Structure 1
């Protein structure tokens, strides 16, 4: 166990499970209401709970299982990393697979959810890509990147040659001499 800021602080798994159950249960209620609305037969308003209420239960169970398992495994392992998310994802996916009633579905949904959630957490938990440090000014960051990647002009000229906006020192004199030798035209020097 490391000292200082690296020390693990236990988290309340039960509180997280209740919160996760409530949030995903509410989302399940919304999905159940949509399912109830789209049924062919006219079902009363209580059909959200009676006819398609299993959706609410599955959503709530998945959310509660995920949150509880994630924090409980973090507390047991005393580490907060992507493996906790993968373990929670496996059990949550297994709960989702229970609806199909077969072992391959339980294991398959669990493995798929574990891989997706574990990889998402491992890569930083953002779909938008790498997040920049907001404390650094954007102009200064780009200037630093330009200076970091800058090559000497001699190396650039040796690799690409002169022209196309890349001119080394003494280019104008060399150009005047080439034109005079090839065409016999005297090019005046710029002031």
Structure 2
């Protein structure tokens, strides 16, 4: 599903269940990889099947955290009808609170809420992998570059 773009300013609702399932399965795969590494380091004489029985909580923990983040971020975006950094902050905070609940620690939950929420909001605010210029057209990008590189306009003119 697409999200709000600078060009049309129309929000397209995100698919909650599909996005949550995809992220949950992806994070379960990461948890499985980490559980396999834990199994190989801790017990050299065990079989691969013990990854699920002995370290299953690692797999389910990662799946839970990925699913909670995506579900919270998607619900927040759909309620607010916008796709911005606040959704990432709310999703990250919900994930951090879940970490605190699993550890039975209010302090860890609050710290993880602030930490994960802050990191995810910074990531979303910076334009994710696309950068701050994600929704700008070529003229806006050129003007932004000129404001950053005031004394080096010849670099911009060469583009």
- TM-score of the superposition, structure 1-length normalised? 0.64
- The answer to whether residue 119 in structure 2 is matched with residue 111 in structure 1 is no
Which ranges in structure 2 are unaligned for 5 or more consecutive residues?
A: 1-6, 140-145, 147-151
Measure the CA separation in 2 of the matches of 1:84 and 1:24.
19
Task: Say which of 133, 136, 146 aligns to 2:154.
Answer: 146
Of structures 1 and 2, the one with the larger relative CO (CA 8 A, separation 6+) is 2
Aligned residue for 2:19? 16
CA–CA separation in structure 2 for the residues paired with 1:52 and 1:15:
27
Q: Is the 8 A contact 1:28 1:55 kept in 2?
A: yes
Cα drift, residue 112 of structure 1: 0.7
Structure 1 runs, 4 residues or longer, greater than 6 Å off: none
Counterpart position of 2:67: 64
* Unmatched tracts of structure 1, length 5 or more: 150-191
- Between the aligned partners of 2:90 and 2:27, the Cα distance in structure 1 is 18
Larger Rg: 1
1:74 aligns with 2:77: yes
1:41: how far off? Answer: 6.0
How many residue pairs are counted as aligned between the two chains? 140
Say if 2:29 is the partner of 1:26: yes
CA contact (8 A) 1:58 1:95 kept: no
TM-score by length of 2: 0.76
Task: Give RMSD over aligned pairs.
Answer: 3.1
Name 1:54's counterpart in structure 2. 57
Distance in 2 of aligned mates of 1:11 and 1:62: 19
